[in-house]
Amino acid sequence: MRRTASPTSLLLFGAGVFLLVLAPLLAWYVAPHAKRTPIDVDTTTVFTGTGSYFDTSEVKTVHGKRITVTRQVRGDVADSEKSGNAVWDVSTSIDTDATLPAADTRDSLQWTLERWVTDRATNEPVHCCDESPVFDGEAYLKFPFDVEKRSYRWWDATLGGVVQLRYSGVKKVQGYQGLRFTGSVPATMTGVRQVPGRLVGMDRTPQVLAEEWYANSAIELVVDRRTGRILLAAIGPRKTLRAPGSGKDAVVLLESARLAFTPETQRQQVELASGDSRRLAVLGSTAPVGAAALGAVLALVGAALVARGRRPTPDRTNAHLMTSPSVR
């Protein structure tokens, strides 16, 4: 008797083999390619806090005022696709209650426009595409994918240099857990600015090149481990002017013990991070493991059916001999 495999057994076996091949493809090819910095971003984050700033209308530093920092990040899709990198234009404005809402960012207390270019896979800086300023470090607007529990070099645009942020445990933001990194910047001279001499205690000199100094007492970043998205950012900036060669601050331009993401910005960041993290988890672990497990089951069942459950068919040669008359 000859036997032939049933279509069902072959179908199960084929589906199992397909899933077994698909599983490593998802884990080793699809998932790594999904871990790429997006280029079509358009997000706004807002920091608020209370502090001091130099009021040009009163020509003095005022204290106990609300300060708002608004950062808008827009991806340049055309340049990103052309270069293969993530090209982001970053507008940052610092405002007081008197300048909010600002119809023109140039009316703000301070406004900067920067252009950041990073490798989409590693988050390392790439020096092309009219990048400004030329920057360094491993992290700035985001951290690399799969954040590790170690120190990171974070680029501080005000300092114009990198700051070592140390891993400081875990922290929940809006109920969502991230990795916490902290650091600080000691008082550092960052440049010079021409101002009236009397502003820095040099009354007999009409104009002087005053020294600009910057410090940051408390940098805190809480980061989503899988995506590298920043869930919470808080800083303690202090910007001052000093007379040339002086070791003392003469004027406080900006100071706050803590400027941090607003609750609304935190919720927005958590929603984006959790959604992206779930998708990466599915591609990197859930789907490959599920495909491998189901594939193994289907392949085993199909193979068993092929081996044991074939439908028997009569052998035509033997059947002919059995029904032929006897030959004497």
DSSP 254-278: EEES-EEE-HHHHHHHHHHHHHHHH
Tens digits of residue pLDDT in 154-213: 999 999 999 999 999 999 999 999 999 999 999 999 999 999 999 999 999 999 999 999
| Share above pLDDT 70 across residues of the chain, in percent, rounded to a whole number | 74
Q: Note the Cα 213 to chain centre separation in Å.
A: 30
Asked if the structure places residue 200 within a domain, the reply is yes
Mean pLDDT value of segment 238-248: 95
Residues near 156 by beta carbon (within 8 Å), at least 6 away in sequence: 162, 163, 185, 216, 219
DSSP state of 120: T
Cα distances from 188 to residues 13, 193, 242, in angstroms, run 68, 15, 12
Residue 124 scores a pLDDT above 60: yes
Asked if the structure places residue 128 within a domain, the reply is yes
Asked if the structure places residue 12 within a domain, the reply is no
Asked if the structure places residue 103 within a domain, the reply is yes
Distance, in Å, from the CA atom of 52 to the CA atom of 64, rounded to the nearest integer, reads 6
Tens digits of residue pLDDT in 55-79: 988 889 999 999 999 999 999 999 9
Q: Among 21-25, 201-205, 243-247, which stretch is predicted with the lowest mean pLDDT? A: 21-25
Asked if 109 contacts 95 with a C-beta cutoff of 8 angstroms, the reply is yes
Q: Among 32-36, 219-223, 303-307, which stretch is predicted with the lowest mean pLDDT? A: 303-307
Asked if the structure places residue 180 within a domain, the reply is yes
Task: Quote the number of domains for the chain.
Answer: 1
Residue 326 scores a pLDDT above 80: no
pTM listed for this prediction: 0.80
Asked if the structure places residue 41 within a domain, the reply is yes
Q: State the chain's mean pLDDT as an integer.
A: 85
Mean pLDDT value of segment 111-135: 93
* Partner residues linked to 195 by β-bridges: 208
Asked if the structure places residue 100 within a domain, the reply is yes
Mean pLDDT value of segment 49-59: 92
Q: Among 150-159, 228-237, 272-281, 294-303, which stretch is predicted with the lowest mean pLDDT? A: 294-303
Full residue range of the structural domain in which residue 164 is found: 27-282
Residue 321 scores a pLDDT above 80: no
